[in-house]
Structure 1
């Protein structure tokens, strides 16, 4: 009713008028606007609209005898509210059931987190030699001006099943407010101090939550690796040659050095022996440029006893570490060195390379300028790494 008045522009026409049997009624009229829009069928194309306005009447009643000097007298009648289920899912990492729901009290104060719990169906209680349960956590509370409380909850199972279907029992412990223990709350409904709120907990309130949920069948993942080749050159035409054999790859190798004023053209391609179908496409996501301290040689050995990740992971052994390209976050890459632009681009951003690689799904490339690197101290050994 409050939202109808505050958000929808409703007007209270009958406020707390006593009725028979000790009930109180409140009536709100809400304006309703309807606009009908249609296209004219004549020779000149135009639109016409007809606007209508009417009112909708909402009424609500409650039993005032349930409210007494010390909060709620008839707890079970006052708490007869079905929790609203917002989300049911399984954790993708471990397959455990996650239930999220909301409650809203019809009385002053809230449900206690400590005394509330969610019980699994009887046929789930004891499986594979262990007791099964759910951990219930209160995620959020908000107190309305009337004293009623809106709460969000989350329950996570401590087990994994293929079929979670069953009737779950939600036990809620109400904490009605007494007239002499009112505690101020902030706009988010959290108490303003950390002291435990005085509460004479009422009898627990049980609600049945019927849940029908089965985990989708997930086949065992298939792991495979593809052999790729990483090549650099100063010739813009070299990356566009499609290799058909191992000899073609060797012929495209560049064994020279780069000089000031040149650009580095790089490409990553699948080995011809992979025999992949045209439906697959290779794509470079990130490109790093780095250099080690004191002639340190970078290695990529993630499975070694002391793992090394080359340029991918920042470490004290790196003197320079630049993220030249990032497909997901283009603005997060390093654009220059000492004020000079690296002008790094993916092949898809260069007209000449984009046109040539459009029909080569097994290949991706990049280009950048080496001029800024010559502004640094000489003798630096640079490494490029992609993923």
Structure 2
């Protein structure tokens, strides 16, 4: 949770349906809608949105966000979330829009004592993961059985789509026992020929933190807080998207040890400088 530029409370939370189906904001078959209220602030109203949902009726994880309609000094209190469950019959495959039957809302309580804290900067990664930048969509979506080594060392022309893929080293063979998910994607370029590197012991944090050695730094994707993303460089849009938000990328999303994103390369051709992507 955080306070936005207008002083309003912004809360992001996840749900997991413990039934076959998913939660919905509203449904034409129900007269009620999902909502947020707070007895400690009876005059405070909220705008609830469904940010993303796993493409499944089998206990899907869903990301939600609600924003207060105006600002108050103290947001502390017990917040009641009323979400509309929508059940799907057995054997029905997931589709958009979802085909399901709404039920009476379920209530959940969320205690909030607001404090503004900074996210810690990771000093060490314990998994041997690989970041690949690809130019071919078919390779981006593949299971990797044919390898990536030759295709990952590629150059991009203006207008190309850059496909990013993060995956656990296949040598570890973790299979379905481990999930690899992208939470944020940063894009940066160094000043005066400097190449950003991630080496915390030497005070270098790649694209994760602002530094005098960086000429440009953008957070182009943020899974938990998409409203904080940089959408463009100058007047040219990045058009960045996580694989989980791309209906055509289900083949990649369903691979347990991999995740991905994509972006347009056009914005990167506005200035000639060296840059790297961090995930």
TM-score grouping bracket, smaller chain normalisation: 0.5 to 0.7
Partner of 1:364: 259
Partner of 1:275: 173
Partner of 1:260: 158
Q: Secondary structure at the match of 1:334?
A: coil
1:297-348: per-residue Cα shift (whole Å, max 9, x none)?
Answer: 1111113xx3211110110111000101011110101001112211000001
- Report how many aligned residue pairs link the two structures: 156
1:226 aligns with 2:127: yes
Say which of 147, 152, 162 aligns to 1:248: 147
Tell me if structure 1 keeps the 8 A contact 2:186–2:219. yes
TM-score when normalising by structure 2: 0.53
Partner of 2:183: 285
Structure 1 stretches (4+) deviating beyond 6 angstroms? Answer: none
1:245-272: per-residue Cα shift (whole Å, max 9, x none)?
Answer: xx72424x33231111111001000111
Which runs of structure 2 are paired with 1:179-328 in the superposition (5 Å)?
A: 225-244=126-145, 248-251=147-150, 253-303=151-201, 306-328=202-224
Shift in alpha-carbon separation, 1:316–1:371, aligned structure 2, 3 A: same
1:385 aligns with 2:278: yes
Tell me if structure 2 keeps the 8 A contact 1:226–1:274. no
Q: Distance in 2 between matches of 1:239 and 1:257?
A: 15
1:152-177: per-residue Cα shift (whole Å, max 9, x none)?
Answer: xxxxxxxxxxxxxxxxxxxxxxxxxx
More strand as a share of residues: 1
Q: Distance in 2 between matches of 1:309 and 1:373?
A: 21
Unpaired runs of at least 5, structure 2: 1-123
Deviation at 1:350, TM superposition (A): 1.2
Deviation at 1:224, TM superposition (A): 8.6
Tell me if structure 1 keeps the 8 A contact 2:165–2:261. yes
Q: Over alpha carbons, which structure has the higher Rg?
A: 1
Q: Secondary structure at the match of 1:278?
A: helix
Greater RCO between the two (CA within 8 Å, min separation 6)? 2
Partner of 1:178: none
Tell me if structure 2 keeps the 8 A contact 1:263–1:368. yes
Tell me if structure 1 keeps the 8 A contact 2:175–2:257. no
Task: Calculate the aligned-residue CA RMSD, in Å.
Answer: 1.9
Q: Distance in 2 between matches of 1:224 and 1:340?
A: 33
Q: Distance in 1 between matches of 2:168 and 2:186?
A: 20
Shift in alpha-carbon separation, 1:277–1:256, aligned structure 2, 3 A: closer
Tell me if structure 1 keeps the 8 A contact 2:166–2:260. yes
Q: Secondary structure at the match of 1:237?
A: helix
1:119-175: per-residue Cα shift (whole Å, max 9, x none)?
Answer: xxxxxxxxxxxxxxxxxxxxxxxxxxxxxxxxxxxxxxxxxxxxxxxxxxxxxxxxx
Q: Secondary structure at the match of 2:261?
A: strand
Shift in alpha-carbon separation, 1:301–1:264, aligned structure 2, 3 A: same
Deviation at 1:225, TM superposition (A): 2.3
